[in-house]
Amino acid sequence: MKYQNIIEKLPYSEPFLFVDQLNHLDENGAEGSYTFKEELDFYRGHFDGNPVTPGVILTECCAQIGLVCIGLYLFSESNILHSDFGLFSSEMEFYLPVYPGETVTVSSKKIYFRFHKLKCEVKMYNAQGKMVCKGTLSGMIKLNRNA
């Protein structure tokens, strides 16, 4: 995969990695996808008999693809190494549920990057191309400089 090196740098692992593939990534935005596996543990209690992906997990998927991947990309060619990336703020609107086994696509557009703060507009679509959620996410990057 073209952007596998960025996915490998993500500070997450199963079962909390919500990026299967990156289709596009540059300094201005990203697009990627993830399939919510039916065996993910949070489905057991959300909701009984009719499992739905929690909104906080949808937000996390948007953040990983549409915010953290861009942050890693911005520093991949420089002499700066990231050490931590934390979500600073989020404002999301939810329109449709995501069920176990569904694949979603996240696209993001950078609003700004300054003073180690990255802010992006994110949108998530289901396999039918319908918008699941959208919002604005921002995060801070704690930096280490190469010695």
- The more confident residue out of 68 and 88 is 68
Instruction: Determine if the peptide bond prior to 47 is cis (ω within 30°).
Output: yes
Please, what is the average pLDDT of the chain? 90
From 3.40.50.300, 3.40.50.1980, 3.10.129.10, 3.40.50.970, which CATH number describes the 4-145 domain? 3.10.129.10
List the strands of the sheet with 103-114, edge to edge.
Answer: 21-26, 29-35, 103-114, 117-125, 131-145, 80-94
Say yes or no to pLDDT of 143 above 80: no
Question: pTM score, two decimals?
Answer: 0.92
- The more confident residue out of 146 and 12 is 12
Instruction: State mean pLDDT over 34-50.
Output: 93
